[in-house]
Amino acid sequence: MQLFASFVFLALLQSHLGLTAVVKPSVKDITLDIVNGPAAPDGFTRASVLANGTFPGPVITATKGDTLVVKVNNKLTDNTMRRSTSIDFDGVFIDTSNIYNEGSPFVTTCPFGPGTSYTYTLPLGEQTGTFWYHSQLSLQYADGLRGAMIIYGIDIPSLISFGLGGVSDPEDPLAHLYDVDDESTIWTVADWWHNSSVPLFAQYLGNQIIPVADSGLFNGRGRFNGGPLVDYAPVLVTKGKRYRFRIINMSARSDFMISIDNHTMTVIETDGTPTQPMEANIVDVLAGQRYSVVVAANQPIGNYWISEYAVLGGGNPARNLNLNVTLGRGILRYAGAPIQEPTTPMTLGPADPNPVIEGNLRPPPVDFNLTFVTSMTANASSPSGFNTQWNINNIAYVPPVVPTLVKILDGANSSADFNVTENTFVFPANKVIQVTFPPSTEDELHPFHLHGNNFWLIKANNSDTLNEVNPIRRDVAGAGSGGTVVRFTTDKPGPWFFHCHIFWHFNVGLGSVIAGGLEETRERVRPTEAWENLCPAYNALPEDEK
């Protein structure tokens, strides 16, 4: 239903507002002004280094395939803190050709000084997920320069900018697990100091003790012992809906144990990669880590504490009497509940802790299984006309005259629209496909290669076990007498060759095509005239020129 609603919104936006950008990846220009200013997220006002004057900085949102062009204007004037800056977009893959935009001072770049600007150009490619940006210069991010960055699969950012919240990303393979994923579902947790990082760092150099933070912030608000009763940040939910909360730990020191009174969380993403859903009631998030958790608003309408108990990693709270780990929290507020704090006690988390065990997280679950039995036949009367022939499930691949992509652009909708000898397997977009090669009778490894993607190697030929814990990712794996299992997602719509890389085998039939998301392919592919001309020109060639 939600998924359908998102498409309707998209269609509406597209047709009535002429927003071609809604479906087409585009260049997204972002400006960040890095300024000094007062900030008082926990009620104590201190000089800070801020993106656009706020803590956290503005959320940067983008769509898969966008090129982010982030112009950063350094307007820092306060010389009690660092005045140069350099920004790291944490978790975003950067191609080597673009490594100079990676923002690591003195590794890939130099910081830039006050009164100057630098523009980071970041092609986002196929990545989606939960990321963040922060100053990478010295300890400057402890002084405030940190913000969330989310890459969605479709243009949720446009929907958000038109005030259409309550949507979710239909391109997410786990989208069926939740209803809402928008700006209201981003949670940032951060530690916060009342003094600038410059004297605190000097102090640390002198005594080897990391200064204990004054407070823990949830979505930019928190409290410290004896401080004012700053309103905790509410997270608004509607009973009956399921929310994908994207938790980002922007802390510089503390890790946080996150829990919600009377609600469980289902982890579905770690640092930009989907996981098999895992239920827990505590998520321990280290500095820099991100998790997406699904929470069902299935409790009686009311206000519930969200606790973010800060673990100090050896730090002694007695060293900073301002810090009270109980006070780091937010409020999960159901629509219809009074605007007030929960009346239940502030605890440090559930009495029956069931934390996420990181080592037990797994790659996402399988949506579709394929079995590929390889066999060799010598059959002069076979359909392919080949004598020696290699088959997948008894069918030798024969290249069609009309390329698969052309057929898709012309409207092919299912496996039935392709000749059986095309070994073309059609799946919806954004599904998880597992291909099992049962042990073969011949002892030869066929190095199966997937074009344009890579796969988790769940079982290698010479391994006895299915490794769903920490499988490597690669794009060629041998299938032989031991049996092999690979798993991949169809998150890149289009037809991708999946074939034995022994080209002798491949050319007598040991090939297949994995075609994911035919509609999505038609929506996105806009071939050039030069490409359109290739098939007619080839077909017109005399045989001796083919």
Ligand X SMILES: *[C@@H]1O[C@H](CO)[C@@H](O)[C@H](O)[C@H]1NC(C)=O
Tokens coding 264: 């469980």
340's contact among Cu ion, ligand X, none, with CB below 5 to 8 A by partner kind, is none
Given the structure tokens 């982030």, which residue do they identify?
70
Q: Name which of 67 and 225 has its Cβ closer to ligand X.
A: 225
236's contact among ligand X, Cu ion, none, with CB below 5 to 8 A by partner kind, is none
Selected range binding ligand X among 20-28, 171-179, 332-340, 479-487, rule: CB under 6 A: 479-487
Near ligand X in 115-154, by CB under 6 A: none
Contact between 82 and Cu ion per CB under 5 A: no
Cα–Cα distance, 100 to 34 (Å, whole number): 20
Among 197, 281, 382, 512, binds ligand X (CB under 6 A): 382
- For 77-162, strand residue ranges (E) read 87-90, 117-123, 129-135, 146-152
Least CB distance to ligand X at residue 450 (A): 18
Contact between 409 and ligand X per CB under 6 A: no
| Contact between residue 448 and residue 460 where contact means Cβ atoms under 8 Å apart | no
Could you count the other beta carbons within 10 Å of the beta carbon of residue 335?
Answer: 12
195's contact among ligand X, Cu ion, none, with CB below 5 to 8 A by partner kind, is ligand X
The alpha carbon of residue 185 and the mean position of all alpha carbons in its chain are separated, in whole angstroms, by 14
| Contact between residue 291 and residue 270 where contact means Cβ atoms under 8 Å apart | yes
Cα–Cα distance, 439 to 171 (Å, whole number): 34
Contact between 264 and ligand X per CB under 6 A: no
Nearest to 303 by CA among 333, 327, 335: 333
Q: Name which of 137 and 435 has its Cβ closer to ligand X.
A: 435
Among 28, 263, 333, 505, binds Cu ion (CB under 5 A): 505
Least CB distance to Cu ion at residue 162 (A): 52
List the x/- string, 436-465, binding to Cu ion by CB under 5 A. ----------x-------------------
Among 400, 403, 428, 447, binds ligand X (CB under 6 A): 400
Contact between 294 and ligand X per CB under 6 A: no
Tokens coding 194: 């009342």
Cα–Cα distance, 446 to 448 (Å, whole number): 6
Cα–Cα distance, 518 to 515 (Å, whole number): 7
Give me the half-sphere count of Cα atoms (radius 13 Å) on the Cβ side of residue 252.
Answer: 28
Least CB distance to ligand X at residue 269 (A): 15
Angstrom CA distances, 427 to 26, 438, 455, 507, stand at 26, 21, 16, 25
* Amino acid occupying residue 472: I
Least CB distance to ligand X at residue 452 (A): 23
Q: Name which of 107 and 286 has its Cβ closer to ligand X.
A: 286
Residue 379 CB contacts under 8 Å (≥ 6 apart), including other chains: 386, 387, 389
Q: Name which of 270 and 461 has its Cβ closer to Cu ion.
A: 461
Tokens coding 344: 């239940």
Contact between 502 and Cu ion per CB under 5 A: yes
Cα–Cα distance, 25 to 128 (Å, whole number): 13
Least CB distance to ligand X at residue 312 (A): 7
- What are residue 301's phi and psi, to 5 degrees? -55, 130
Among 50, 174, 258, 337, binds ligand X (CB under 6 A): 258
Tokens coding 171: 């391109």
Cα–Cα distance, 22 to 17 (Å, whole number): 10
Least CB distance to ligand X at residue 535 (A): 14
Contact between 393 and ligand X per CB under 6 A: no
Selected range binding ligand X among 13-21, 83-91, 364-372, 423-431, rule: CB under 6 A: 364-372
Say how many residues touch Cu ion, by CB under 5 A.
Answer: 4
**Contact set with ligand X (CB under 6 A):** 30-33, 52, 58, 60, 189, 194-195, 199, 225, 249, 251, 253-256, 258, 261-262, 284-287, 308, 310-311, 313, 324, 326-327, 344, 346, 351, 366-367, 369, 377, 379, 381-383, 398, 400-401, 411, 413, 419-421, 434, 443, 445, 461-462, 480-482
Binding site for Cu ion (CB under 5 A): 446, 500, 502, 505
